[in-house]
Structures are given as C-alpha cells and as structure tokens.
Chain A
Amino acid sequence: MNGGITWRWQFLAFKSKAEGQPVQIWFDALPEDDKYEITDLLDYLQKVTDRLWPEAVFDPLKGAGGISEIKIPDIRCFRDGKVKSITYRIYGFFGPKGYIHSYTFLHGAEKSVKNDVVGKQIAKGRLDELERGTAGIHKFEFTGERNPQAAEEQGYTQ
C-alpha cells in the first residue's frame, strides 16, 4: 500500500549546446494522437512511486551502462496508405544526482529493430555527457504544456 505517499516522478530531458533539446523536439514533432498516448502512459508512471515501474512498459536494460527504456507499444497509425502498429521507445535514467524523484529522457525513437543498438548508443553517449558535465537537463513539456521559455526560466540546468 502507498497510503500517505504524495510525491510523484518528474520528467526531465537531456539538452546540450550542440543538440539543443533533442527529446523534446522529437516528441513535439510526433502526431497529436501519439503524443496523447505517450503522455497518458507517463502520467500513470509518474504515480507509481512505491515499486518498480511495470515490466510491461519499462525495461531496466541491465548491462546497458545505466540507461533504461520506457516502451509505448501498439500505437495505431495510418502510414503509406496502410494502418500500422508502431512502438515508441524512450531511453532515460533515474536522476541526475541532486534531482530526487526524477527520470531524465535521453533519446526517443520509433522502434524499428528488436535490439536497438544505435538508439542505446545515442542514449548512453548523452548520459556520459551529462556525467561529464558537458550537457544539461530541462523540464520535459507534455502536450498542451509547451512553454520553453518558462522551462528555461525554472533553471533546469546542470
């Protein structure tokens, strides 16, 4: 039971001078319905605070150097004249240090292969940048909340 727990996860995202806010840019460019689906799932994950996130939608990616993966499968979309089912992956990690109850997105992508080696490498590379102090984080903005200036003003930098 989690009676009395009032905190929730907050979602942050990677940013750097070289890349800007790549996860936010990726998310903002998604079709509206897909953004809703991702937002809905993260809204639930945000409130799972007394145990690990469900394995159906979260993979801790053991042995991947500290990154983990949120899975958003089976999104129906219409592409190339056909209805297709696609899966999104958002790589991230719990942290960074100094930010309690935070999960930081490193890389977002549509699943195209079973073992996304390239996606994991991108995410790990960004995590390394954060750990070296050569990149920062920002508050992730969901559908209907987009206000980059306000996020910047909140001082989400590292």
Chain B
Amino acid sequence: MNSRESVIRRLRRSKGTRSKFVESHVNKTVAFQIRSLRGDLTQEQMTEKVGMNQNAISRLENPYYGKPTLTTLKRIAAAFDVGLVVEFVPFSKLANKISGTPFEERGLSPESLNVPSFTEEDNLGVFKNNEANEPVFTTSEAIAVAFPEDTRRWLFTEGYADLSIENSIFVQFKGLPVTEPNVTTEYQTVQEPKKLKVVLGSTFDKSDFQGLFPIPENTPTGAFLNG
C-alpha cells in the first residue's frame, strides 16, 4: 500500500510533507500499539494497570487526538513490561520501515547518533529510484582486504558487479565514510564474489567481512582510487 517508491515520492514533495509524514506515523504507531497492548482488557480495567483515567486512555488510543508525553509512554511501557524506543532516524530508514522493506538494524552505533537530514541523504543518492530497495551487488572477499587498515564505517551509496574476467568479477562501489561526510571515495577490486548483500544506504566496515571467509594468500588488495 505504502510502497518504498511511493513513500519516497511523497517525501520529496517538501519539508512540510515530510514533517506531516513523521507526525502521521508517530501518532498512528503509538495509538495502535497502545490499543494492542490493552488486549482484551477494557479501558476501565486498564486505568488500574497504568494509573490513568479512562478518558486519557481513550485519547491515547486515538491517532487523531492523543498527544502522549514521553513520561506517559514510559509509564505504559513499564505497566505492560515492554521496551520503548524513541529515536530520530534517517528518512531512508523510516521509508523502509513504513513500506515493510527489510533493512539491517545496527543498533546503537556512531551513525545512529548522527542522523543525516533528508537533503544530506538525497545528496548521497540514497533515494535513487532505480537502486532503492534492491541489493545492488554481491560483494567480493577482496573488499575485506581492499582497506585492511581502514576501520572507518562507510555509508554505501553506489555499486555494481557485472563484468566477468576469467572467473572473477569486477566489483566497484562508492561509499562515504560516515565520520567524514564530505569525502567521497571509490574502491575497486577483482575477486570471486561472495554472497554478502549490500543494500543501498546501508553501512559497513571491515568487521562485517570478518569470519565470512578465509582470506587466501596472495589476494590482491584492490586499488584505492580518488582517495
């Protein structure tokens, strides 16, 4: 219903549209989850559980009238013994979530605390229609050794692998180091492909490749371009 492409088209309309989108989904998620948490209890029975009056509960369950505070949400989480996450996220992640597009949740990490704006993500090509939502290429074991000393975390922005050269595949990708958002770097390497999917907008560092495969001796280290 809300496909990733239609969500992105909508987000592109204006800053106002984006803020409405956020409000719409925050209100509905909270209201629908609270209604679901109540389960078979009546609103009256829930008043005892959460220590709020029935009118307040009724408003919380209404996506159009409830304006719950963080304190209220924490109280409800405690009453029903569930966790609560309140966080700012990039629009790419929100678009994935709303459209039901699987994405990698990396938990508490440097980039989760440093959220790019819609414009910053757009400038990185994260919302490109033809690349959105699809694993872009099967990466190569050589990528792990392409930057053996580089422990920076990268925001993947572009890539392809389609040229076979004597049982090898030419792999190229572009990425931005998350901690240096204004630097664009391009790597390329030649090696047999491995089945590690990299999705546009995802991030990775060397540790993501560790343990996936043994790094053979004499593996080419790949070229570091435009660095």
Measured in the bound complex, the distance between the Cα atoms of B64 and A73 in whole Å is: 7
A40 / chain B contacts, CB cutoff of 8 Å: 2, 24-25, 28
Q: Which of A1-57 contact B (CB under 8 A)?
A: 11, 33, 36-37, 39-44, 46, 48, 50-51, 54-57
Contact of B10 (CB < 8 Å), options: A36, A42, A74, A145 = A36
Cβ-based interface call for A143 (8 A)? yes
Stretch at the interface among B31-39, B48-56, B146-154: B31-39
What does the 1/0 interface line of A57-96 toward B look like (CB < 8 Å)? Answer: 1000000000000000110000000000000000000000
Majority-rule SS of B interface residues: helix
Cβ-based interface call for A98 (8 A)? no
Contact A41 B28 (CB under 8 A): yes
Contact B64 A74 (CB under 8 A): yes
Contact of B20 (CB < 8 Å), options: A33, A51, A143 = A33
Contact A37 B65 (CB under 8 A): no
Measured in the bound complex, the distance between the Cα atoms of B28 and A51 in whole Å is: 16
Give the number of residues in B that approach A within 8 Å (Cβ atoms).
26
Contact A144 B24 (CB under 8 A): no
Contact B1 A46 (CB under 8 A): yes
Known: A37-B24, A40-B25. A145 touches B6 (CB 8 A): yes
B141 / chain A contacts, CB cutoff of 8 Å: none
Contact A144 B5 (CB under 8 A): yes
Contact A56 B31 (CB under 8 A): yes
Closest to A11 in B: B1
Looking at A54, A55, A142, A143, the one whose CB has the most chain B CB atoms below 10 A away is A54
Give, as a whole number of angstroms, the nearest-CB distance from B45 to chain A: 15
Contact B32 A44 (CB under 8 A): yes
B31 / chain A contacts, CB cutoff of 8 Å: 54, 56
B9 / chain A contacts, CB cutoff of 8 Å: 144
Closest to A42 in B: B1
A48 / chain B contacts, CB cutoff of 8 Å: 32, 36
Give, as a whole number of angstroms, the nearest-CB distance from A10 to chain B: 10
B35 / chain A contacts, CB cutoff of 8 Å: 54, 56
Measured in the bound complex, the distance between the Cα atoms of B94 and A158 in whole Å is: 38
Looking at B2, B29, B65, the one whose CB has the most chain A CB atoms below 10 A away is B2
Contact A36 B1 (CB under 8 A): no
Contact A39 B2 (CB under 8 A): yes
Give, as a whole number of angstroms, the nearest-CB distance from B60 to chain A: 10
Looking at B6, B29, B65, the one whose CB has the most chain A CB atoms below 10 A away is B6
Cβ-based interface call for B3 (8 A)? yes
Closest to B7 in A: A144
Cβ-based interface call for B158 (8 A)? no
11 new A-B contacts at CB < 8 Å, known A36-B21, A48-B32, A56-B64: A36-B24, A37-B24, A39-B2, A41-B28, A44-B63, A51-B39, A54-B61, A142-B6, A143-B10, A144-B10, A145-B3
Chain B contact residues, CB within 8 Å of chain A: 1-3, 5-6, 9-10, 17, 20-21, 24-25, 28-29, 31-32, 35-36, 39, 58, 61-65, 98
Ranked nearest first, the 3 interchain pairs of A and B with the lowest CB-CB distance are A144-B6, A56-B62, A74-B64
Can you show 7 pairs from A to B with CB atoms below 8 A apart? A36-B10, A40-B28, A41-B28, A43-B98, A54-B31, A56-B61, A144-B10
